[in-house]
Every structure is written in structure tokens, then in C-alpha cells.
Copies of this chain bind each other. A is one copy, B any other.
Amino acid sequence: MHCLTNTVVQTLTANALLAVGAAPAMVDEPAEAEGFAAVASAVLVNVGTVSRRTAEAMRLAARSAAAAGTPWVLDPVAVGGLAFRTELAGELLGSRPAVVRGNASEVMALAGAGAGGRGVDSTAAADDAREAAVALAGRTGGVVAVSGAVDVVTDGTRTVRVGGGSPLLTRTTGAGCALGALVAAYVAATGDPLTGAVAAHAHVALAAEAAAAVAAGPGTFAPLWLDALDAVTDLSAARVTA
């Protein structure tokens, strides 16, 4: 799976993908990203530490994925608060991501409905962004997933909520970004953006619950969460509701 993601979270993202059986590859040089996106099973574009160079790689990879029919996921980190990436994310929507995954502020900003987030945190609950998510899904023709204490996932028509998880996810840098990568892997595996996005959120939530039960704090939580991502094989216990 081809990941163009931010340098803060690359390691956790790669390890999370390996834990669920996916094969991560992180290639962000424009000279390579275009061709690689066309042959990957899925592509993740996360703008967390985007630069002019990687923005160009993201544009090429998104277009290439769209042209090849490869599902790709957009994670609009901190969009709304910073002009350069906000413009880039708006432009990337034109390549029709199979899934957009972000927090409420980011999704509202991307949908043109919010007043802007404050960096990487969201000041709003996921349900506050439900209307924006539905509208955005209508525009992309794909799925929009809003992370929160209860996640909201919609294809514009159907809306599914995923509960559970653990607050320790919010104290682990890159947990949300790794979730975006798992969404891409699950969409590739299931062939369906809504099913894949819900399954990834359910998998992450169940693993977080298992890890939180044994972690001594936010530091030991991260490796235990990876162990649990590997151990979870049955998603039927997840709190998935309409």
C-alpha cells in the first residue's frame, strides 16, 4: 500500500499496516509517486507535514490513482487552519478520494462549512460534522469518516457510527493517521469504501480497548495497540450502529 504521509507518523502507520497484514511502502518523491500509485493496491494521502515537494507528489499520486481506479484516502490534517494545505486538499478532492478521513474541524473546513480548526486537534464532536460529511460525500461520490469519541462514517446516504475505542488513542501521536492508512487497506481488501472504512474504524476501536485494558499509560499503550491490531481477527464485538 502506497502511503504519502507525514514524517511524524510514518513509523506507527507502517507498523499498524504490518500488524493487520498489509504491506506499507512510503514513496513521496514526485519522480516515483505517480507511477507507484498506479500499481499500488491503495493510496493514502495525508497532508500533516506537507511541503511544496510532497504536495506535488500527492497531486500526481492522487491523479494517478484516480486514473487507474485505485482507491485512495485523503487525510486532511489541520486543513482549515493553514492556507497552503487547505488549498491543496480542496484541489485533491477533484481526484475523488474513495474516503476522506479526518476530525470534525477538518471535515467541516474541507466541506466549506466550518470556521477552521486549531491545528491537528478538533474542537468539535464528530456528530457536529455529520451534515458537512454528508455534503462532502455528495461532492466526492465517496465516503467521509469523522473521528471522535463516536466516529461517524457516511457515504452521503447511509450513516454508520462506531463507538468504543479509548481516549489513549488521542494521546498517541499518529493513531488517527494510522487509522487513515488502515481505512485505505480495508477499502482495498473489501472493495467497498463504506464497508472498508467502517471495518477499519471498528478494528482500531477494538484494538484500542484491548490495549487500554493492559497499558500503564500513553507510552506503553502504543506498542500494546499494535499487538492488539495484530490479535484482533473478529470485528463482531465492535459498537457499530446506524
Binding site for B on A (CB under 8 A): 6-12, 14-15, 18-19, 23-29, 31-32, 35-36, 48-53, 78, 81-85, 119-121, 171-174, 216-220, 222-231
In the bound assembly, the distance between CA atoms of A26 and B84 in angstroms comes to 14
- Which residue on B lies nearest to A217, using beta carbons? B227
In the bound assembly, the distance between CA atoms of A32 and B23 in angstroms comes to 32
In the bound assembly, the distance between CA atoms of A11 and B19 in angstroms comes to 19
Q: If A18-B172, A226-B217 touch, does A51 touch B53 (CB 8 Å cutoff)?
A: yes
In the bound assembly, the distance between CA atoms of A132 and B120 in angstroms comes to 38
Chain copies in the assembled complex: 3
Contact B82 A35 (CB under 8 A): yes
Contact B224 A15 (CB under 8 A): no
List of B residues within 8 angstroms of A225 by Cβ: 219
Within 8 Å by CB of A226, from B81, B218, B231, lies B218
- Which residue on B lies nearest to A85, using beta carbons? B32
Contact B223 A230 (CB under 8 A): no
List of B residues within 8 angstroms of A32 by Cβ: 82-85
- Which residue on B lies nearest to A55, using beta carbons? B29
Output the least CB separation between A155 and chain B (Å): 30
